[in-house]
């Protein structure tokens, strides 16, 4: 399989950075190890608030590639997605915390970044994504998104691996490579040029980009760099950093991109139908079920507090004052306080245990 999969990745600084002599805050990494191919890209958060975003994005791609090439089977076969998300985010944030301590950085938030990866072992494939950017699959019949950009209230806000609840925003897709010709990962600097968020359309040019991976290495690198530089970076003096990772499956049918869909109608979506509406709709039934299952007043009191969490406002999303920065603020998570009665019972139980221990010691002595 290793000779049938070609991997290539490229990251170029956007003119909003390069024209000012600033570094590229994106990072890319491709690795083949232990029978696992993986491409990972990360977009460091822009703006003065995120002083070490470039360090953060580089740490993210290193952590993810090393972890998944070592433990692909564990991640792929464990059916507990909440556990997988938690372990992956914990690994990323732990490395960021160690880096922050080593470099005297006052918190991992300074190293905020997105994360996109695609890992393949034999015919098994797993993709992960948090934040904006795009992962696309090219087949003989067209281009489809595996994961789409993850934005907040508007396209200028997104989510980062440094959030305390980052695992809630991590999307995982486990599938196979059976119908895949290529997988293309893009940070928003490139994705915004080829993806129409209103119709979920990925433009056919992405298929042409993927075919560059099948060229001889030197020619491939030159053409990929020239294409991204001329069509993404150079046209605008405020262009963002642009990164792409390609996993190309040699020997599969090369699609005819002239037959790909070039435009799509707007979806008939009701954007007023939000999850909070669903919660409020279910609330009366939840209360009824609570009264049936937990008639005990003490337990019911605890359940009523949990119900209040359902009714609580959703986390708020806001943008930074910096023009080139993204998701900044999220309201603190709601913590459920135990009912006072439960606390009293617990205190009395501890007091009784302490008395029994004291009595036992008295008899021994």
Domain boundary among 202, 235, 259: 259
Nearest CA-CA partner of 245 in 262, 258, 228, 229: 228
**Residue-level length of the chain:** 365
| Predicted model pTM | 0.81
pLDDT at 328 over 70: no
pLDDT at 216 over 70: yes
206 & 294 share domain: no
34 & 124 share domain: yes
194 & 102 share domain: yes
182 & 322 share domain: no
Whether 241 is covered by a domain: the verdict is yes
Domain boundary among 210, 233, 259: 259
Query: Which pair of structure tokens corresponds to residue 327?
Result: 């998701």
160 & 294 share domain: no
Whether 264 is covered by a domain: the verdict is no
- 53 touches 25 (CB < 8 A): yes
291 & 173 share domain: no
Q: Give the count of domains, the chain.
A: 2
Confidence band (pLDDT; 50, 70, 90) for 156?
Answer: confident
Whether 214 is covered by a domain: the verdict is yes
pLDDT at 13 over 90: yes
- State how far the Cα of 192 lies from the Cα of 188, in Å rounded to an integer: 5
Query: Which pair of structure tokens corresponds to residue 88?
Result: 């992956």
- State how far the Cα of 64 lies from the Cα of 88, in Å rounded to an integer: 8
- The reported pLDDT for the residue numbered 46 is 81
Give the distance, in angstroms, between the CA of residue 22 and the centroid of all CA atoms in the same chain: 26
223 & 359 share domain: no
Residues 22-65: tens digit of each pLDDT:
999 999 999 999 999 999 999 999 888 899 999 999 999 999 99
- The reported pLDDT for the residue numbered 47 is 82
Residues 140-167 have a mean pLDDT of 91
- 55 touches 103 (CB < 8 A): yes
Q: Which of residues 268 and 347 earns the better pLDDT score?
A: 268
Q: Residue 124 sits in which domain range?
A: 5-259
Whether 270 is covered by a domain: the verdict is no
Residues 340-356: tens digit of each pLDDT:
444 445 555 555 555 55
- State how far the Cα of 60 lies from the Cα of 40, in Å rounded to an integer: 9
Residues 282-294: tens digit of each pLDDT:
999 999 998 898 8
Residues 76-115: tens digit of each pLDDT:
999 999 999 999 999 999 999 999 999 999 999 999 999 9
154 & 192 share domain: yes
Whether 210 is covered by a domain: the verdict is yes
Confidence band (pLDDT; 50, 70, 90) for 157?
Answer: confident
Domain boundary among 259, 289, 305: 259
241 & 293 share domain: no
- The reported pLDDT for the residue numbered 306 is 52
Whether 313 is covered by a domain: the verdict is yes
Whether 296 is covered by a domain: the verdict is yes
pLDDT at 243 over 70: yes
Confidence band (pLDDT; 50, 70, 90) for 303?
Answer: low
- State the CATH number of the domain containing residue 28: 3.60.40.10
103 & 18 share domain: yes
Whether 268 is covered by a domain: the verdict is no
199 & 323 share domain: no
280 & 252 share domain: no
């Amino acid at each position: 399989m290793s000779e049938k999969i070609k991997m290539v990745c490229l990251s170029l600084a956007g003119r909003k950075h390069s024209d000012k002599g600033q570094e590229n805050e994106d990072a890319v990494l491709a690795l083949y190890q232990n029978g696992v191919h993986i491409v990972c890209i990360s977009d460091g958060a822009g703006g003065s608030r995120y002083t070490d975003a470039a360090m953060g994005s580089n740490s993210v791609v290193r952590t993810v590639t090393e972890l998944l090439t070592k433990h692909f089977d564990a991640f792929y076969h464990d059916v507990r997605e909440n556990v997988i998300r938690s372990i992956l985010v914990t690994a990323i944030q732990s490395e960021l915390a160690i880096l922050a301590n080593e470099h005297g950085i006052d918190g991992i938030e300074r190293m905020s970044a997105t994360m996109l990866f695609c890992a393949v072992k034999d015919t098994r494939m797993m993709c992960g994504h948090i934040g904006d950017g795009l992962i696309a699959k090219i087949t003989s019949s067209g281009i489809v998104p595996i994961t789409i950009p993850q934005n907040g209230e508007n396209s200028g806000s997104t989510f980062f691996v440094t959030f305390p609840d980052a695992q809630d925003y991590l999307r995982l897709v486990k599938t196979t490579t059976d119908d895949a010709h290529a997988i293309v990962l893009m940070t928003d600097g490139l994705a915004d040029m080829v993806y129409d968020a209103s119709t979920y359309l990925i433009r056919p040019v992405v298929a042409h980009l993927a075919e560059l991976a099948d060229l001889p290495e030197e020619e491939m690198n030159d053409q990929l760099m020239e294409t991204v530089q001329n069509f993404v970076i150079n046209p605008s003096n405020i262009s963002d950093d642009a990164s792409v990772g390609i996993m190309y499956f040699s020997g599969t049918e090369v699609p005819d991109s002239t037959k790909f869909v070039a435009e799509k109608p707007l979806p008939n979506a009701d954007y007023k139908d939000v999850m909070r509406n669903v919660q409020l709709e279910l609330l009366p039934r939840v209360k009824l079920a609570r009264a049936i299952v937990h008639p005990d007043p003490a337990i019911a009191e605890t359940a009523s507090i949990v119900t209040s969490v359902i009714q609580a406002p959703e986390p708020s999303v806001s943008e930074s004052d910096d023009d080139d920065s993204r998701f900044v603020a999220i309201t603190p998570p709601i913590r459920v306080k135990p009912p006072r009665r439960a606390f009293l019972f617990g205190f009395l139980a501890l007091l009784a245990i302490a008395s029994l221990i004291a009595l036992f010691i008295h008899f021994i002595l």
